[in-house]
Structures are given as C-alpha cells and as structure tokens.
C-alpha cells in the first residue's frame, strides 16, 4: 500500500511528543515501579497524582499517573512550537469537524484536547513549567537511567485513517510494514522530532495504547535493568527482549507496569530530519522486522494493550498473520 506524501507545511507545528497521562490503581505501587525501580524523577506528588520526568528533560513531566479504579490511558500529549500554533490547531480541528476543547492541566499553559478520528485522546500545549537541568547530576541517576520519553505506539483498527490524519498534521513516515498481499499497511512509524518516530501504529483492536518508550544511554543500561527486575520482585513484569529491532535499528526491552501498561526501554535509532528522507518498507513475514536477530515476539505483545478511558476498541479492518513466538 503506498504511503502518503509528506506534508512539509502542516496547519500547525508539533515539535515532538511530550508526555503521557495514565490511570493507575495503586499510586504507591506505581511510584515504586517508575521512580524507585526504573529511575524517573518525581516532580510533584498529591493524594491523587504523580508527576515524573526523565533525566534530560527540562519540562515538568513526561509521565502523569492518576489514581483511578482501572488502569487505562487518558491522553497522549504533544508540544507545539508556539502559543500561536495552539490557535492554528483549534482553527484546523474546528474546520475539519474534529472534536476539541480547551482543558486545564497543572504545570501547563493553554492545553487543547482533541479526539482523533479513531477516538484517541490527544492534547497539545506550548508552555510547561521548566525545571533546572539535572542531566549532569549523576548522583541522581539510578535504575535504567531514563533520559527522555521517546515515542508512543498505538493499536489502530483502521491504519489508513490513522496514518492519513497524522500525516496531515505533518508527521512523516520513516518505516512501514505491508500486509502479506502488499495491498495494506500493517504498521507505520511516523515522526516530527527527527528520530524514527514520535508516534507509531500497529494493526489491532483499536484504538488502544500499545506502549510508550524511554530513551536510555546504552544497551548496557537495559541489561542492568533486567538484572535489577529479575532480583527485586519484577520478574513477571519482563515481557519481551532484550534485542535489536529490525525496524528502527534500536536496542529494546518491553516491560509492563503494575497495571499492565507496556513500556519500551529504547536505545539508539537514527536521524530522519531530511524532508526527502525515504521511508523503509518491511514485509510482515520477515522475522528480522521485529528482532534483527530473528526471535519472534510473544502473543501478548500482539494482543494486549491499554484501552483509552471510555473508548471501546473495535475489531481491526486488517486481519493479518505476523510471526508469533510458539
């Protein structure tokens, strides 16, 4: 299936993904997982919410955890280039009949919440409380030494609709996997910030969050994390990896938080800022697509994900057969 031509002058300027808001059932368990074990820094804490940032980040938060009765995903958030881009976003969504409204978010300026055509809640803002740099305070580093949030990956039940919508917002395709008959796309990776992706889509019951990812300094930090998790009560939270992806060429590990939200630990993809950067095509039956070393992913990786709050997933339009570990 052809991928759409890039939109190099989009209606408003998204510069990167920024943060994720998740509902969790036990804030203390989540704090132990994200802060004490994984190594994120707590930037604010209330009875109902926990705000976290990674070591390179100057913005107040890259993860917001909110106490709730069920572990669901509540918003995927993106930073835009200026306040004026928020007004352009509002005008664009209004013109396209995309549901949107202004919302209040702690530690942020004006924030526009929209619902994409498949039902994913996305938020856009420019201003966030800025914090002092800590990237050279090595005494604070622990866990996997997370440097920054890197990307979101979501299940979509309609790949063409998802890719078409974000393509119009200026997200550019870097890699894609075609179905066996080469008529449809099974997965697509799209970026704004100049890496392999800010946002990726995988065919499946959707919309759902598949995972979000943190960039870490080296593959060795991932090995250290595995040793840590395996000996501190988190063995069953390890889902897939470590390995090197074919797609993105990144070194990876997938883990699950106490509510089952999937997190990828991610290291080293490549630069994609050229406006004429050529996307890379993969075949669904190529085992090196998932893992360059050939190991297939487990069934859970293809089937399980976090629902978005109040959004019922639909059956995917595309039924396909990725290689799954026996």
Q: How far apart are CA 185 and CA 284, in angstroms?
A: 9
Give the residue with the Cβ less far from Fe ion, 213 or 320: 213
Footprint of Fe ion on 84-113 (CB under 5 A): none
Decide whether 153 or 203 has the Cβ nearer to Fe ion. Answer: 153
Tell me the window of 32-40, 106-114, 262-270, 289-297 that interacts with Fe ion (CB under 5 A). Answer: 262-270
Return d(Cα 71, Cα 158) in angstroms, integer.
24
In the 8-state DSSP scheme, what is residue 40? P
Burial of 11 (0-12, 13-18, 19+ CB in 10 A): middle
Nearest CA to 177 out of 153, 213, 151, 194 is that of 153
DSSP symbols for 63-117: EEEEE-SS--EEEEEEEESSHHHHHHHHHHHHHTT--EEEE--TTBSSEEEEE-T
Q: How far is the CB of 121 from Fe ion (least distance, A)?
A: 20
264 lies in the site for Fe ion, by CB under 5 A? yes
In the complex, what is the shortest distance from the CB of residue 1 to Fe ion, in angstroms, rounded to a whole number?
Answer: 21
Site string for Fe ion, 122-161 (x = CB under 5 A): -------------------------------x--------
Tell me the residue nearest to Fe ion as measured from the CB: 264
Cβ distance to Fe ion smaller for residue 21 or 153 = 153
With contacts defined by CB under 5 A, name the span among 22-30, 43-51, 55-63, 210-218 that binds Fe ion.
210-218
Residue 65, number of CB atoms within 10 A of its CB: 28
| Closest distance to Fe ion from the beta carbon of 104 (Å) | 30
Find all residues with CB under 8 Å of 310, minimum gap 6, and list them: none
Nearer to Fe ion, 100 or 153 (CB): 153
How many residues in the shown chain lie near Fe ion by CB under 5 A?
3
Spatial contact of 262 and 304, defined as CB atoms under 8 Å apart:
yes
Q: Which CB sits closer to Fe ion, 24 or 267? A: 267
Q: How many CB atoms lie within 10 A of CB 275?
A: 7
Tokens read off for 267: 């290291």
Stretch that binds Fe ion, among 69-77, 139-147, 256-264, 292-300 (CB under 5 A): 256-264
Shortest spacing between CB 153 and Fe ion, in angstroms = 5
How far is the C-alpha of 110 from the C-alpha of 94, rounded, in Å? Answer: 17
Euclidean distance between the first and the last CA atom of the chain, given in angstroms as a whole number: 29
Q: Which stretch binds Fe ion (CB under 5 A): 168-176, 226-234, 263-271, 294-302?
A: 263-271
Q: Which stretch binds Fe ion (CB under 5 A): 21-29, 49-57, 73-81, 260-268?
A: 260-268
Between 79 and 245, whose beta carbon lies closer to Fe ion?
Answer: 245
Give the range of 81-89, 118-126, 257-265, 314-322 binding Fe ion by CB under 5 A. Answer: 257-265
Site for Fe ion, rule CB under 5 A? 153, 213, 264
């Amino acid at each position: 299936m052809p991928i759409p031509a890039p939109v190099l002058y989009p209606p408003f300027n998204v510069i990167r993904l920024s943060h994720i808001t998740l509902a969790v059932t036990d804030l203390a368990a989540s704090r132990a997982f994200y802060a004490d074990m994984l190594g994120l820094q707590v930037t604010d804490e209330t009875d109902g919410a926990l705000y976290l940032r990674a070591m390179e980040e100057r913005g107040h938060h890259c993860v917001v955890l909110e106490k709730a009765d069920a572990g669901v995903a509540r918003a995927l958030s993106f930073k835009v280039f200026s306040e004026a881009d928020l007004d352009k976003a509002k005008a664009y969504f209004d013109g396209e009949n995309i549901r949107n409204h202004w919302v209040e978010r702690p530690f942020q300026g004006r924030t526009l919440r929209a619902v994409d055509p498949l039902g994913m809640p996305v938020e856009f803002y420019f201003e966030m409380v800025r914090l002092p740099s800590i990237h050279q305070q090595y005494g604070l580093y622990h866990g996997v030494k997370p440097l920054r949030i890197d990307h979101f990956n979501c299940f979509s039940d309609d790949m063409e609709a998802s890719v078409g919508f974000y393509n119009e917002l200026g997200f550019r395709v870097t890699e894609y996997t075609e179905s066996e008959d080469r008529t449809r796309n099974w997965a697509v990776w799209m970026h704004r910030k100049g890496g392999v992706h800010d946002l990726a889509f995988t065919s499946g019951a959707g919309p759902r969050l598949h995972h979000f990812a943190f960039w870490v300094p080296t593959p060795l930090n991932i090995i250290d994390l595995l040793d840590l998790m395996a000996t501190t009560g988190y063995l069953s939270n390890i889902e897939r990896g470590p390995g090197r992806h074919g797609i993105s060429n990144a070194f990876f590990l997938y883990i699950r938080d106490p509510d089952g939200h999937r997190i990828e630990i991610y290291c080293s993809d490549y630069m994609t800022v050229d406006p004429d950067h050529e996307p890379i095509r993969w075949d669904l039956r190529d085992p090196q697509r998932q893992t360059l070393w050939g190991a297939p992913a487990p069934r859970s990786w293809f089937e399980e994900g976090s629902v978005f709050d109040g959004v019922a997933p639909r059956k995917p339009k595309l039924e396909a057969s990725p290689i799954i570990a026996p």
